[in-house]
Amino acid sequence: MAQSHLLANRSTCTRLAVGATIVRDRRIIAGGYNGSTSGGVHCTDVGCYVVDGHCVRTIHAEMNAILQCAKFGVPTQGAEIYVTHFPCLSCSKAIIQAGIKKIYYANPYHNDPYAMELLEDAGVETVHVPYENPFETVPEEEQLAFVVELLKEMEALGADKEKVKDFYERARQLYEKGS
């Protein structure tokens, strides 16, 4: 699962960073993240191309991993897939057709009832595996609380109130982006 979260960092669609890792016989055989077609423009460069609430420029992480296997002739029959978010309906269908037998996912994400029905009917097991990043040792709320405390102390020691207010606003904006 950690590999999938690392892959998600490569996502080029700004709407949701997703990573997927396909494993067969306890070996990683492919990885994918959501992004544009090879050589195409990326959402991070020109913005998302949204139609009916979905970015149509993006190829989902699961599909990219499956297509990587197809491109290089690597069989997926009986494999497992680790995904940062529950697969959408289209990716669920592709997972079934690829012969993948087990999905491990970290985050529920608009779990489509029909996708779940199809997966169950096809005998594809789904396992929710909550993921805690081992590199995040301090929750963001604690980090922000520390910054606020530090700024209050600066103000108490005589720092310029407007400058402290500007620092507070910048910190708040940074933490909002990370959420």
Phi and psi torsions of 16, nearest 5°: -165, 125
Annotation says 62 is catalytic: yes
Q: Among the options 62, 120, 140, 153, which is catalytic?
A: 62
CA distance 35 to 12: 5
- Closest among 35, 31, 27 to 83, alpha carbons compared: 31
CA distance 57 to 152: 45
Cα 106 to chain center, whole Å? 9
Contact between 65 and 4 under an 8 Å Cβ cutoff? The reply is: no
CA distance 41 to 50: 14
Contact between 122 and 101 under an 8 Å Cβ cutoff? The reply is: no
Give the pairing of strands 80-85 and 54-55.
Answer: unpaired
Which positions are annotated as active-site residues?
62
